[in-house]
Amino acid sequence: MRLQLALDRLSKARCIRLAEDTKQDVDIIEIGTGVIKEYGMSIIREMRELFPDKTILADMKTCDAAKHEVKQALEAGADITTVMGFSADASIKDALQEAEKLGGQIMIDLLEIQSKQRVEELASLGVKLVSLHVGKDQQSKGSFHKDLFKLTEGTNLTVAVAGGINAESLPSIVEKDPDIIIVGSTITGQENPQKMAGKLKSYLKK
């Protein structure tokens, strides 16, 4: 199991500091959507240079013009870029094709997807990696819940999970064997983010 640190709603300096402080326990550095909107592709380039050995995910949340946006993120240095699961099949196919051409990966964000049929369609289009995700705004009604795993049960998809995950909720999520645990605010909001990243990592299966 891998730990992904989501860097959201932060300055560039803070993103770099957090990535540096937690690098011992974090496997994937996620550059959050808002951070990309603020700094553009330059922050992906900079993080690539600063953390050459880490997997970098650009949370582009692409939903159209997929070929162009996937190219932007991967050429800037991301290993993985995100595309929304509700996008047109044409966008999903273009994204997968472009990622294959450039040697990167697509993570399909299943935010607000409620039908297993859509997940199966995505798999049949060639999708391999998805994230089960409760969005920031929906978290006022509840954080990530393991019922969401129903969407990917019985598939061969690699599954990431995200949405307000913390030290209390993580152990029961881990029981469901996701491949990637995405955590943002629970780490980035701490006075000692390194300690929290270490604590969360210790709950993950090897």
Ligand X SMILES: O=C(CO)[C@H](O)[C@H](O)COP(=O)(O)O
Interaction site with ligand X (CB under 6 A):
6, 8, 30, 32, 59, 135-136, 162-165, 182-186
112 versus 175: smaller Cβ distance to ligand X: 112
Rounded least distance, CB 30 to ligand X, Å: 6
Would you say 132 and 152 are in contact if contact means Cβ atoms under 8 Å apart?
A: yes
Q: Which residues, in sequence order, are bridge partners of residue 55?
A: 28
Rounded least distance, CB 25 to ligand X, Å: 15
Rounded least distance, CB 59 to ligand X, Å: 5
32 versus 104: smaller Cβ distance to ligand X: 32
15 versus 165: smaller Cβ distance to ligand X: 165
Residue whose Cβ sits closest to ligand X: 184
Q: Is 177 exposed, middle or buried (0-12, 13-18, 19+ CB in 10 A)?
A: exposed
Rounded least distance, CB 186 to ligand X, Å: 6
Nearest in space to 43 (alpha carbons), one of 68, 18, 25, 24: 18
8 versus 120: smaller Cβ distance to ligand X: 8
Nearest in space to 44 (alpha carbons), one of 74, 85, 71: 74
What token pair was written down for 7? 């860097």
Q: Give the C-alpha separation, 69 to 27, whole Å.
A: 24
100 versus 179: smaller Cβ distance to ligand X: 179
Would you say 161 and 182 are in contact if contact means Cβ atoms under 8 Å apart?
A: yes
Rounded least distance, CB 93 to ligand X, Å: 23
Nearest in space to 180 (alpha carbons), one of 151, 144, 196, 204: 204
